[in-house]
Amino acid sequence: MCFHFPPGDRVKIVQLITGSADFGGAQAHVRDLADGLRARGHECSVITGPPDGLFSDQLRAHGIVVHVLPHLRKALHPLNDSLAILQLVARLRKLKPDLVAAHTAKAGFLGRVACALLGIPCVFTPHGWSIVDRASGKINHIFKALERFGGTLGTGVITVCRDEHETGRASDLVEQKKLFCVHNGIPDLPALAQRNDDDLTVVMVARFCKQKDHSTLLRALSRLKGYPWRLKLVGAGPLLEATRQLAGSLGLAQRVEFLGECKNTTEILSQSSVFVLSTFYEAFPISILEAMRAGLPIVATGVGGIAEAVAQGVSGFLVPPSQENLMAESLERLFTDASLRERFGRNGREIFLERFTDKHMILRTLEVYRLLVNREVEHWPAENLTVAASTAKPAGD
């Protein structure tokens, strides 16, 4: 059973996310979602906070109207947050949307409060629940109480992976009937460049921050100095210099390129041999989908929803966090077998085309939006929207 908005039924949707100097997976998700909704005839604008930079520029380049609210910031601040709610209420009262889709914890909470005051349906996408302290792994009971309160105000919650969906269900953050799962998706691109079988270019696209684990990747590669690999690290962040120093201390300085933030990530991936995502926690990272789209074999930490995209032994290898020896073994298998790299990459691209294009994401998201706008959640079995990629057989396997 599949619902879509009737032809000609134009819906007015506002996407909401806090401002940030960084451009990450949540921002890319909002950009692609807003662009896809607009392309399908719906009116979609974005409310965000300062700074008015790369994220806003990309939205405007796609023809999407952007509203920047000065007090809509990521950091917790009681006065700023109170003013942000007032600004949201005023702006939404002018825009009169049929639905607000809020993304990440702060915008999710403030958006649901503002929408409840105005009687506007509001759906929240966490992109990683805030209830777990990422450093200690312990439950933050204050954030948990806030998430539960937000759950009573909102009309629905869309999680970007089944792992996130199960956390919401098991922690009783929102009523089951309000909880949906729609995997992230990204646009497909034309045919990719051919790679040289003798080339061993490893690439990781990630911010240099506590969430990501560049050190395990570097230590794993330091065990493989006998192979002619080179590593490209795309991204910026507070731990970049510390990571550069670690590469030097491991004797890898001449083999590691720090590329900073890049606008040509797609080109870099197309010229690489292996993609790695070494990380401590994730929801459903866009970078994994970009690597699958590029036809790259993947070595990744098996946390969050990564295993819902990367099929173990089919399109890549999954290793536990901080296990440099297992990461080294996985990389070595790919270094020594060009046919394995080719097969994993081909399988990953086929899985991407079957399940993780922006078309899949947008159509499933519209199904949920229709239910919420028309107040039909009571009549819909929510489990019909919870599809895990890891349960299905990859195409071409």
User: What is the rounded CA–CA span in Å between residue 88 and residue 83?
Assistant: 9
Q: Which residue has the tokens 């312990």?
A: 138
Task: For residue 396, give the nearest of 334, 345, 333 by alpha carbon.
Answer: 345
CATH superfamily of 201-355: Glycogen Phosphorylase B; (3.40.50.2000)
How do residues 337-355 score in pLDDT, each as one tens digit?
A: 999 999 999 999 999 999 9
Which pLDDT score is estimated for 199? 81
How do residues 30-86 score in pLDDT, each as one tens digit?
A: 999 999 999 999 999 999 999 888 889 999 999 999 999 999 998 888 999 999 999
**Domain locations in the chain?**
12-187+357-391, 201-355
Which pLDDT score is estimated for 192? 65
User: What is the rounded CA–CA span in Å between residue 228 and residue 275?
Assistant: 16
Instruction: Give me the mean pLDDT over the 12-27 stretch.
Output: 87
Task: For residue 256, give the nearest of 237, 239, 234, 275 by alpha carbon.
Answer: 234
Which pLDDT score is estimated for 393? 38
- Per-state percent for the chain, helix, strand, coil, to nearest 5: 45, 15, 40
Q: Do domains 12-187+357-391 and 201-355 have the same CATH topology?
A: yes
- CATH T-level fold of 12-187+357-391: Rossmann fold (3.40.50)
C-alpha dist (Å) from residue 172 to 97, 141, 303, 318, 375: 29, 13, 21, 29, 22
